[in-house]
């Protein structure tokens, strides 16, 4: 398990060296998208809860 983690870490680090800028931007984009999706999900969830409560 630890070996896999070390290999993965090494791979990420070499990937980071190769395309640091792009990699960082991609991660930021992914996180932003993830956050937006989660916000949208929680928003629609609270709307659904509100609607079912008002019925």
pLDDT digits (tens, 9 = 90+) for 25-34: 777 777 777 7
Rounded mean pLDDT of the chain? 70
- Domain spans, the chain: 2-54
Joined together, the tokens standing for residue 16 give: 């980071």
Q: How far apart are CA 22 and CA 16, in angstroms?
A: 9
- The model's pTM: 0.32
40-53 confidence digits (pLDDT tens): 767 676 666 677 77
Q: How far apart are CA 31 and CA 52, in angstroms?
A: 31
């Amino acid at each position: 398990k630890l070996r896999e983690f070390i290999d993965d870490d090494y791979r990420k680090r070499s990937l980071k060296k190769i395309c640091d800028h792009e990699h960082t931007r991609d991660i930021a984009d992914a996180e932003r998208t993830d956050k937006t999706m989660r916000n949208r999900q929680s928003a629609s969830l609270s709307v659904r809860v509100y609607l079912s409560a008002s019925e």
